[in-house]
Amino acid sequence: MTAPGSRPGTLAFVGLGVMGSPMAIHLQRAGYAVRGYNRTVTKAAELVRAGGKGCASIAEAVTGADVVCLMVPASEDVQRVLLGAGGVVETASPGTVVIDFSSIRPEVARDLAERGARCGLRMVDAPVSGGEAGAVEATLSIMVGGVAADVEAARPVLETVGQTVVHVGASGSGQTVKAANQLIVAANLQVLAEAVVFLEAYGVDLDAALEVLGGGLAGSAVLDQKRDNLRERSFAPGARMALHHKDLGAYADAARAAGVVSLLGALVTELMASAIACGDHDLDHAALIRGVDRLNGHALPTD
């Protein structure tokens, strides 16, 4: 078993998409021997070019690994990777640290941690914030749930891919904080979109307006990262609308279970659902501004 705080030799990384691929590459370059797996095999190409290994199955990647990392889209995918035939629970050795970077429902994370613990696995839920840019630059904010000793064992990996790493509580707590994060980001994006359309209606110098707003109390990381998307209506996905909508669903379910009233949460969830119904699911979540444009009768380039 890897000692807490030590650097493991071999690391399996399952899920080499927009976020997972740069994270795996950072880990390879930091000295870990990374074995990557993705259902679309060609997505391992960048990791292989960085010196890692592409694997043909989860079992091939996981067998003998000191640490297993997951970055897959949804709760069902995490369950499949962990519990399915040839999955992590079946192939990982007792004592293996399993870090789930995916954003999933808190109750699923708690259940999987309990199942993993019964098999001797050290489960840590560690969803991230920062989007593709944060993954590429290794500046992610990581909210971590799990047993303190397991979190410390995972910390060298977490601090390789993230800039802000905070243990927020027991298993599932990382996912709970991520749900709150997604509420805040969605609400911020929506109100920024409305502000941009308002400023445009008055013919204000938009670059200058966003610069001064960003320097005051209205400033935010969302404004810093998404101002170009909003101003230029450019929506190459750094964080896809469909995944953010999925996360808001997890937030809504958790809020309902706790008896928490969330008026803005309900509103932004419906606005994002509307965007998806209009075909914007594969666009960056900054495409919420397209919904504001629609409500104001503005023609959209792809409509």
* Residues labelled as active-site residues: 178
Compute CA distances 206 → 211, 234, 292, whole Å: 8, 15, 17
On whether the CB atoms of residues 73 and 102 are closer than 8 A, the answer is yes
On whether the CB atoms of residues 99 and 122 are closer than 8 A, the answer is no
- Beta strand ranges found along 71-182 (DSSP E): 97-100, 122-125, 128-129, 140-145, 162-169
Amino acid at 301: P
On whether the CB atoms of residues 165 and 158 are closer than 8 A, the answer is yes
Q: How far is the C-alpha of 80 from the C-alpha of 186, rounded, in Å?
A: 28
